[in-house]
Amino acid sequence: MNRFFFTHPYSAWEKGTIENTNKLIRQYIPKNAVFSEFDELKLKEIQDKINKRPRKKLGYYSPKEKFDYIAKNSKVAVNG
């Protein structure tokens, strides 16, 4: 059974993963940047860098490594 949790507005401490991910994105894209100024190739490059960065929470594997491992060892088909 899936459980869903909703956070309160302006309560960053209730959504740590999102805040940490935003911090990673801000290393590449400044807060007031206009996304239309970034082409698709540049955004893909940033996405790849973030997804290949090891995370302590994942046992120092990157999200890409963890996803690939689960996809390879899962009985559920993954497109791509």
Residue 53: inside a domain, yes or no? yes
Residue 3: inside a domain, yes or no? no
d(CA 70, CA 32): 36
pTM exceeds 0.75: no
Q: What is the pLDDT of residues 57-67, one digit of tens each?
A: 899 999 999 99
Number of domains in the chain: 1
Residue 8: inside a domain, yes or no? no
Residue 21: inside a domain, yes or no? yes
| Domain with 27 in it | 13-73
d(CA 79, CA 69): 14
Q: What is the pLDDT of residues 22-79, one digit of tens each?
A: 899 999 999 899 988 999 999 999 999 999 999 998 999 999 999 999 999 987 665 6
Between the CA of residue 34 and those of 14, 27, 31, 37, what are the distances in Å? 27, 15, 9, 6
Residue 65 has φ and ψ, to the nearest 5°, of -60, -45
Residue 47: inside a domain, yes or no? yes
